[in-house]
A and B are shown apart, each in its own frame.
Chain A
Amino acid sequence: MGSEVLIYGYGLVCLSMLAFNLIYSLYLRGAGRRTRRRKEHMAAVVVPALSGSRVPEGHTERMADMLRQVKDLLALDDYLQTLPEEIAGEYITRIAGIFPGLAKYYDGRDDMFCAYFSHFVQRWGRYMAGERRKLAQTISLYANKNSLYCRINALKALCTLGDAGVLLDALVYLAAENEEDFPINDKIVVELLLKFEGDSREFIELIWDRFERFPPLHQRALLDYIRFKSGDYSDKMLEILTDTGRDKELRLSAIRYFTRYPDERARTSLLGFVSDKDPANWEYAAIAASALAEYPGEDSVDVLSEAMHSGNWYVRSNSAESLEKLGFRYEDLLGKAAAEDRYAREMLTYRLETRMLNAERDKAKEAAKA
């Protein structure tokens, strides 16, 4: 009898699941209609506030109340996107005073809602000028919540609000708290930072001030950000490049910096990296080989020619490419290398063929355009 009860029990659970699915199907069927109605309602509320020099009396309070519902926040966002940007922006500026309060309200709600509020601020925050500081301080708290999406949306919102100090504090806190648990990919951090709408020079100065408080993974992201934004920091980059105690990824980032912004002071280090035959250091050699394309001179040519005999595919490939950029023809190099080394010969032959393939591609593109 016991097993029968168990079996029927499971049967009942399954029937409940089936019922859930059917109800959910019906719910989904009506979802589109409900969203449309909510958006129409929001439009009816917002339209009177778009004209005239001020919003109607009681409108701000009403919106502050309505937007506590995330579905109304969604509807407002949807509706504003149908308006010309300047009209939508002007409206947000008029009601901007409600957002710091809403930020505090959402801080006490589910992470998913905080993430959506951050998304809203990310989209419209540039029109909330007078409230930026207060908003940024509350949203920086979202960056410490459990949900990854909430953290990322919060950081994006902080980038839109453009307060360098608050953003960096949030990043420092995030790095310290979550180094082990949640190492957000450094590429995501770079992409986030590139959206920063405040004073990037002030932001970079702050980064250098607090650089040592970040773990290497985030330090690399910060260096990459600096590289994309400015070439004015060669002194600090040179320190990192020449500091053998630094993390490998940081030094590689410094090499990339000096590829983008050539500086004669980096030449000796770059030549040293390419000359290093230790297989464990192949990444330094490969990336520095690309960098030497920006450092013309006999010493660069000699080191790159020697690197053509490296056992590492990437070192050979990058060296061949750099030599071509320095004005050498693959055909001439091939003649010289053919007698010496199979590795070099193969790579140069392949680079020649690659050039031919690229020419075919360009021809096909031109034909398609025509």
Chain B
Amino acid sequence: MSTREFIQLFLMCVEAFFVVYMVGYASFLFLSVTVGSSELYAARRRNELKNELENDYYLPVSIIVPAHNEGVTIEATIKSLLALEYKLYEIIVVDDGSTDDTARVVRDGFNMLRVDRPIQRRIACQPERAIYESRQWKVPVTLVMKENGGKADALNMGINVAKYPYFLCIDADSVLQYDSLEKIARPILEDSRTVAVGGAVRPCNGAVIENGHVTRYRMPKNLLASMQVLEYDRSFLASRILFDKFNGNIIISGAFGLFRKSLVIAAGGYDDDTMGEDMELVVKLHVFCRETGTPYRIRYAPDAICWTQVPEKLGDLCKQRRRWHIGLFQSMMKHRNILANPKYGAVSFVSYFYFLLYELFSPYIEIFGVMTMILAYFVDLINVPFMLLFFAIYVVYTAILSLTAFLARIHTIDMKLYFADLIKAVGLCVVEVSCLRFIMAWVRTTALIGYKKKRKTWGRIERQTIEFK
């Protein structure tokens, strides 16, 4: 076999692989966006016809806010939590050894007094330096200052301090919509087997939030942030609603998730050895419940909304995505026994497989595809017009699905869509798919180089004051 024949055979194999890979991806995306959109429209119809739980009972919830050098945003975050239309909750801020004025901002802003509160340490974590409390607000606010140990360690401290049977973790750069706690608690009231619920995370860049209500929503001025709006809508609408149909969600964003405390403690709490502690915990809960025969549901509440700041600088975005990819890698490797394991059913054969192939391996596959094209070009084995057509179809296809997800989200939460924003969304969804995605693929491909050195560190992105009135 000559070299050219060998290359030809190799390229044929690659072509066959990519056809299967892309058909799989396109079908999954189509299925998930269709299921997601129709679920949102059906939920809207259900609400119109009073097919919903009208809350007379409030699940007691401890809100844990882990913070490290969040002096810029922490006050707005706590204010948003105090504005929640919910009756039974407490707020616990865990300052994980900040070197800025995070603790001072919280202490001064909320009139806190130092207390000697005994802590029942049911999950190991770094020791506390001081505890402050205030009862002057709608609900008790607690600040725990502790030795630096990473985000997972801070969350474990929060769980130890929490008084209530359910806890909600949110990021210190996020604000909750006024009804989000009520909405995220509903799946637990609807089905008592529910052990964890994830909410929808939306970029707040461009939004004006007054007392927990979004009074004005525009696409962010910053183009990078606008592209992330489209990306968030696609990913939250798509896979999570579909996976929810078969109890297959293996990720709940660390920015907004509700958990049954006793079960998390029994499973060992957050793992402070991984960067993706949020995903690791959810996968661990699947494993724990299945191994112990505990009936469970892990749900997604698309109408429970948390507004978060997304990076506006490419460097910050790259840092964030690198961190996410390492977290994904660590979680999947740690629980690799799930793969092709019939005991885990659809969690193994659909969710885990999807995340492995289309999230963890996808950047390598995409870069490999580009390199193969270059090789084919040099040996004159590529049909350039067809390649361009294929690429154009790919871009249009994915862009339309992103737009569908974006519009479905806008329609079902009664937001006003400005014409200029629609035009912006149409233009940017093409740019996001054709440019940003490839930059992110490169970032994720190189993410694992030297990742062990970054253990137990907090991701840093430049914060801006959140407009919370």
Q: Is the CB of A24 within 8 A of B41?
A: yes
Kindly list chain B residues whose C-beta atoms are within 8 Å of the C-beta of A343. Answer: 118
Partner of A115, one of B49, B56, B407: B49
Report the separation of the CA atoms of residues A188 and B408 in the bound assembly, to the nearest whole angstrom. Answer: 31
Interface of A is mostly: helix
Cβ distance A249 to chain B, nearest Cβ, rounded Å: 12
A191 to B59, CA, bound (A): 13
Q: Closest CB-CB distance, B82 to chain A, in whole Å?
A: 14
Assembled-state Cα–Cα distance A147/B189 (Å): 15
Roughly how many angstroms separate A206 CA and B26 CA in the complex, as a whole number? 58
| B53 and A21 form a contact (CB under 8 A) | no
A185-B135 contact, Cβ under 8 Å, with A6-B23, A313-B120: no
- The reply to whether B50 and A119 contact each other, CB–CB distance below 8 Å, is yes
Q: Residue among A21, A70, A148 with the most chain B CB within 10 A?
A: A21
Q: What A residues does B193 contact at CB under 8 A?
A: 183
Assess whether B49 is in contact with A112, with CB atoms less than 8 Å apart: yes
Given contacts A191-B56, A313-B118, contact A11 B135 (CB under 8 A): no
Task: Answer yes or no: A14 CB below 8 A from chain B CBs.
Answer: yes
Chain A positions 150-207 with a Cβ under 8 Å from a chain B Cβ: 150, 152-153, 182-188, 190-191
For B115, list chain A residues within 8 Å (CB): 350, 353-354, 357
Residues of A within 8 A of B190 (CB): 148, 184-185, 188
Query: B353 on the interface (CB 8 Å rule)?
Result: no
* Contacting residues, chain B, for A190 (C-beta < 8 A): 57
- Chain A stretch 4-37: residues in CB contact (< 8 A) with chain B: 6-8, 10-11, 13-15, 17-18, 21, 24-25, 28
Contacts of B108 in A (CB 8 A): none
- Asked whether any CB of chain B lies closer than 8 Å to the CB of A225, the reply is no
Q: A15-B400, A188-B57 are in contact. Are A361 and B407 (CB under 8 A)?
A: no
B46 to A149, Cβ gap below 8 A?
Answer: yes
Interface pair B33/A17, CB less than 8 Å apart: yes
Q: Which of A17, A24, A346, A353 has the most CB of B within 10 A?
A: A17
Task: Tell me if B401 counts as interface (CB < 8 A to partner A).
Answer: yes
Q: Are B49 and A113 in contact (CB under 8 A)?
A: yes
Q: Which residue of A lies closest to B136 (CB)?
A: A364
Number of residue pairs spanning A and B whose beta carbons lie under 8 angstroms apart: 129
Residues of A within 8 A of B136 (CB): 360-361, 364
Whether the pair A21, B407 counts as a contact (CB closer than 8 A) is yes
From B45, B48, B135, B390, contact of A358 by CB (8 A): B135
Question: Is A64 an interface residue when CB atoms closer than 8 A count as contact?
Answer: no
B53 touches A149 (CB 8 A): yes
- Does chain A have a CB within 8 A of B133? yes
Q: Which residues of B contact A149 (CB under 8 A)?
A: 46, 50-53
Q: Which of B102-153 contact A (CB under 8 A)?
A: 111, 113, 115-118, 120, 133-136
**B234 CB, nearest partner CB in chain A, Å:** 13
Tell me if B192 counts as interface (CB < 8 A to partner A): yes
Contact with B along A73-97 (1 / 0, CB 8 A): 0100000000000000000000000
Q: Please measure, in the bound complex, the distance between the C-alpha atom of A338 and the C-alpha atom of B49, giving whole angstroms.
A: 61
* Other-chain contact of A14, B19, B45, B113, B400 (Cβ < 8 Å): B400
Residue in A closest to B56 when the chains form the complex, CB atoms: A191
B contact residues around A21 at 8 Å (CB): 403-404, 407-408, 411
Give bound CA distance, A199 to B118, whole Å: 48
Q: Contact between B192 and A183 (Cβ–Cβ < 8 Å)?
A: yes
CB-based contact A350/B30 at 8 Å? no
Q: Are A185 and B52 in contact (CB under 8 A)?
A: no
Q: Which residue of A lies closest to B400 (CB)?
A: A14
Q: A17 to B34, Cβ gap below 8 A?
A: yes
With both chains docked as a complex, state the minimum distance between the C-beta of A289 and any C-beta of chain B, in angstroms.
16
Give the residues in chain B near A147, CB-CB below 8 Å: 51
Q: Which residues of B contact A11 (CB under 8 A)?
A: 393, 396-397
Task: List residues of chain B with CB within 8 A of the CB of A357.
Answer: 113, 115, 133-135
Chain B residues closer than 8 Å to A112, beta-carbon distance: 45-46, 49, 51
Set of chain A residues within 8 Å of B53, measured between Cβ atoms: 149, 152, 188
Residues of B1-54 contacting chain A, CB below 8 A: 19, 23, 26, 30, 33-34, 37, 41, 45-46, 48-53
Given contacts A350-B115, A357-B115, A360-B113, contact A14 B404 (CB under 8 A): yes
What 4 additional pairs, Cβ within 8 angstroms, besides A14-B397, A360-B111? Answer: A112-B46, A347-B118, A353-B115, A360-B113
29 A-B pairs whose Cβ atoms sit less than 8 Å apart in the complex: A10-B30, A11-B393, A11-B396, A11-B397, A13-B30, A14-B30, A14-B400, A17-B33, A17-B37, A18-B400, A21-B404, A21-B411, A25-B411, A70-B49, A112-B45, A115-B51, A119-B50, A150-B51, A183-B191, A185-B189, A185-B191, A185-B192, A313-B118, A353-B115, A353-B116, A353-B133, A357-B113, A360-B134, A361-B135
Interface residues of B (CB under 8 A from A): 19, 23, 26, 30, 33-34, 37, 41, 45-46, 48-53, 56-57, 59, 111, 113, 115-118, 120, 133-136, 188-193, 390, 393, 396-397, 400-401, 403-404, 407-408, 411
